[in-house]
Amino acid sequence: MEYKVVPFVASIDANKGNSNHVAEQLESLIKNYTAQGWKYVRLESVSTFVQPESGCFGLGGKPGFTTNRQMVVFEK
Protein backbone atom coordinates (compact mmCIF):
# COMPACT_ATOMS: atom_id res chain seq x y z
CA MET A 1 0.00 0.00 0.00
CA GLU A 2 1.20 3.52 -0.81
CA TYR A 3 0.46 6.62 1.28
CA LYS A 4 0.53 10.35 0.59
CA VAL A 5 0.38 12.99 3.33
CA VAL A 6 -0.57 16.53 2.33
CA PRO A 7 -0.64 19.62 4.58
CA PHE A 8 -4.01 21.32 4.92
CA VAL A 9 -4.19 24.98 5.89
CA ALA A 10 -7.61 26.55 5.49
CA SER A 11 -7.78 30.19 4.49
CA ILE A 12 -10.85 32.32 5.19
CA ASP A 13 -11.75 35.98 5.37
CA ALA A 14 -12.18 36.85 9.06
CA ASN A 15 -15.22 39.03 8.29
CA LYS A 16 -17.04 36.72 5.85
CA GLY A 17 -15.58 33.27 6.37
CA ASN A 18 -17.12 30.48 8.40
CA SER A 19 -16.71 26.76 8.97
CA ASN A 20 -18.53 26.03 5.69
CA HIS A 21 -15.71 27.72 3.79
CA VAL A 22 -13.17 25.54 5.59
CA ALA A 23 -15.21 22.42 4.79
CA GLU A 24 -15.38 23.43 1.11
CA GLN A 25 -11.60 23.82 0.95
CA LEU A 26 -11.04 20.41 2.53
CA GLU A 27 -13.62 18.84 0.22
CA SER A 28 -11.91 20.39 -2.80
CA LEU A 29 -8.53 19.00 -1.71
CA ILE A 30 -10.01 15.53 -1.21
CA LYS A 31 -11.76 15.61 -4.61
CA ASN A 32 -8.53 16.72 -6.30
CA TYR A 33 -6.54 13.78 -4.93
CA THR A 34 -9.41 11.33 -5.46
CA ALA A 35 -9.40 12.29 -9.15
CA GLN A 36 -5.69 11.33 -9.19
CA GLY A 37 -6.50 7.86 -7.87
CA TRP A 38 -5.90 8.44 -4.16
CA LYS A 39 -8.39 7.40 -1.47
CA TYR A 40 -8.97 9.71 1.51
CA VAL A 41 -8.05 8.05 4.83
CA ARG A 42 -8.20 10.74 7.54
CA LEU A 43 -7.22 14.20 8.76
CA GLU A 44 -4.37 14.12 11.29
CA SER A 45 -3.17 16.82 13.66
CA VAL A 46 0.61 16.84 14.05
CA SER A 47 2.24 18.73 16.94
CA THR A 48 5.57 20.33 16.11
CA PHE A 49 8.05 22.13 18.35
CA VAL A 50 9.64 25.18 16.71
CA GLN A 51 13.12 25.76 18.09
CA PRO A 52 13.85 29.06 19.84
CA GLU A 53 15.92 31.76 18.15
CA SER A 54 18.75 33.15 20.23
CA GLY A 55 19.03 36.47 18.40
CA CYS A 56 22.24 38.44 18.07
CA PHE A 57 24.11 38.68 21.40
CA GLY A 58 20.88 37.66 23.13
CA LEU A 59 18.89 40.57 21.66
CA GLY A 60 15.77 39.91 19.63
CA GLY A 61 15.59 36.29 20.68
CA LYS A 62 12.32 34.40 20.38
CA PRO A 63 11.23 31.54 22.63
CA GLY A 64 10.42 28.13 21.20
CA PHE A 65 6.80 27.10 20.89
CA THR A 66 4.58 24.20 19.95
CA THR A 67 2.29 24.45 16.95
CA ASN A 68 -0.22 22.09 15.34
CA ARG A 69 -0.45 21.32 11.65
CA GLN A 70 -3.29 19.51 9.91
CA MET A 71 -2.27 16.74 7.50
CA VAL A 72 -4.59 14.92 5.10
CA VAL A 73 -3.72 11.24 4.63
CA PHE A 74 -4.46 9.38 1.37
CA GLU A 75 -3.72 5.84 0.23
CA LYS A 76 -3.51 3.86 -2.99
Q: 71 vs 48, which has greater pLDDT?
A: 71
Cβ–Cβ < 8 Å for 12, 18: yes
| CA–CA gap between residue 63 and residue 42 (Å, rounded) | 32
| CA–CA gap between residue 46 and residue 60 (Å, rounded) | 28
Residues 6+ apart with CB under 8 A from 73: 3, 4, 5, 40, 41, 42, 43, 44
Q: How confident is the model at residue 28 (pLDDT cuts 50, 70, 90)?
A: very high
Domain count within the chain: 1
| Domain ranges, residue 8 | 3-75
Q: Is this prediction's pTM over 0.85?
A: no
